Every structure is written in C-alpha cells, then in structure tokens.
Amino acid sequence: MTPSSNSKDFRLDGKVSVVTGGGSGIGRAIARRFAGAGSIVHIFDLNASDGEGTCKLIRDEGGDTSAHACDVTNQAQVKERFAGIFRKGRVDILVNNAGISHIGNIEGTSAEDFDRIISVNVKGFYYCMSAVVGHMKANGGGVILNMASIAGSAGVADRFAYSMSKGAVIAMTYSVARDYLQHKIRCNCISPARVHTPFVDGYLRKNYPGREEEMFEKLSKAQPIGRMARPDEVGALALFLCSEEAGFITGCDYPLDGGFFNLHG
C-alpha cells in the first residue's frame, strides 16, 4: 500500500448494503455513512416514513438509496423484501440493527415482554441473516454486521430481557462467522454502551418530565468517558468493519462503550 492509496480507505464503492432499522438513530447514521462511502443502501424500517426520511437525507448528500417498509418479525415479509433486491442484483453487506429495548428485572418482565424482545431482537436478526446468507454464498461472499450491546456481556441493572437478547446476538455472530468462513462471509458485531439517539430523548421525556437535563447528565456520566456515544461514532466503526480494510476480521464483538466494560465502577 502506498501513501497515495489512503484516500481510498474505508470505501464501499460498488457495494450494495441493507440496513435494518435505518429510519432513525444508529441505523440512520450507519446508512448515511455507508452511502457517503459509495454504497447503494437499502433501508428496511417498520416505519415507512422514517425510512423515506433517511433516504431523503442520503439523496441530498448525493447518495443512492431506497426505502422498504419491513417488519423484521415477519419472516415471509423479510424474505419478500430481500427477494425483491436480489432480482435487481446482489447484496454485499447486511447490517442487522432493528431492535427494541426493555427496562425491568426478571420480576418486572412479563411473558409478553420477553416474547416481544425475542421476536424483534433475536428472531428478527435470524430472519435477515437466514434470508441473505445463501445469496452471499452463491455470490462469493459478503459481510454481516450485527448490532449487539454491552448489556449482552456485562451486568446492567434492570435490563433482563434486553441483555438476554443481545447475548443471543453475540452468540449468533460467533456461530455464523465460524460456519461461513469457507464461503468468504465475515460476521462481526458491535456492542455499544449508551448512545444518544431519539430513543433516549423520548425515554427521558416520558419517564422524567421536567427533569430531562438532569437525568441526561446522570446517564451520560454513567460512562467512564463522561458522555454518551454519538450515532455517527457507531457508524464510523460499522464502516470500517464492513470495508475491505477489515478483511481479516471475523467472529469479533467490538465494544464501543466509553470504557464501560473494563473501567466501570
């Protein structure tokens, strides 16, 4: 590699990506980052208007994108959406990002809560990987990136069901990476700590009306680094892991946690 080639680092030119939950927050940041690096980006989101909102931002920035209304808990619909893209060409990258949160310990988690978390955060990831992995095999490889959480590997209070689901995401990542090495499919995951997304702002408005700023500061200081992550910081790591520069990386869980896992407490 020569110094002049550095300008090409972390490019996705000619690559086609699918980002689930790309209508807001981390998914939107990843979609915009990928489009800016030259990828054609397909946005899957339960909320069609959110998906179109991300597409408008990407198009305004000169990117190539399309939105697809998709409920990742509906396997038939997931297969249908991917099949539509396959008819036009190939998918090189899948970012499994669509997910939901839940607050509560085991006593505060109903069976309905537990089933909903499994449906979105575990089955949704499984459905999307299952839909794309055969296609990637047939086309000589690809990259799968799963959004996990530091809660999947560290003890986080009142996150029983959510932590369970993200632990499952990490385990699925390792399994897919192992099983598809010979097919040139890389699979990794990112485990963020708290990220400042619209979800956080909505949570504070709902649960701490009038105390939003105070609680935001408290949540921010819970990270040893003293602040929450920004969605674009997650997007930057996602871009690296899905780029050719990360071609020797598979079967890894990357903490993006401001020191939470090793420095907390």
Cα–Cα separations (whole angstroms), residue 18 to 44, 91, 203? 7, 7, 28
- How far apart CA 213 and CA 140 sit, in angstroms, is 50
As given in the structure block, the two tokens for residue 194 are: 């708290």
Residue 265 domain-assigned?
Answer: no
- How far apart CA 229 and CA 258 sit, in angstroms, is 7
- How far apart CA 177 and CA 169 sit, in angstroms, is 12
**31-57 pLDDT, tens digit each:** 999 999 999 999 999 999 999 999 999
Alpha helices, DSSP H only, in the chain? Answer: 25-36, 48-60, 75-88, 111-117, 124-138, 160-179, 198-207, 212-221, 231-242, 260-263
- Which residues, including other chains, have CB under 8 Å from residue 83's CB and lie 6 or more apart? none
Q: Are residues 59 and 162 in the same domain?
A: yes
Residue 6 domain-assigned?
Answer: no
Domain that holds residue 79: 11-193+230-253
Mean pLDDT of 221-228: 88
Residue 243 domain-assigned?
Answer: yes
180 is catalytic: no
Whether 21 and 97 have beta carbons less than 8 Å apart is answered as: yes
**51-101 pLDDT, tens digit each:** 999 999 999 999 999 999 999 999 999 999 999 999 999 999 999 999 999
What is the band of 7 on the pLDDT scale with cuts at 50, 70, 90?
low
Number of domains in the chain: 2
Identify which of 15, 251, 10, 235 has the alpha carbon closest to the alpha carbon of residue 139: 15
Marked catalytic residue, from 126, 127, 162, 180: 162
Q: Return the exposure string of 112-142: e unless at least 16 CB atoms fall within 10 Å of the residue's CB, then b.
A: ebbebbbbbbbbbbbbbbebbbebbeeeeeb
Neighbour count for residue 102 (Cβ, 10 Å): 21
Residue 258 domain-assigned?
Answer: no
Residue 152 domain-assigned?
Answer: yes
- Which residues, including other chains, have CB under 8 Å from residue 91's CB and lie 6 or more apart? 16, 17, 18, 42, 82, 85, 132, 135, 136, 142
Q: Are residues 90 and 218 in the same domain?
A: no
Mean pLDDT of 10-19: 97
Q: Are residues 150 and 207 in the same domain?
A: no
Residue 264 domain-assigned?
Answer: no
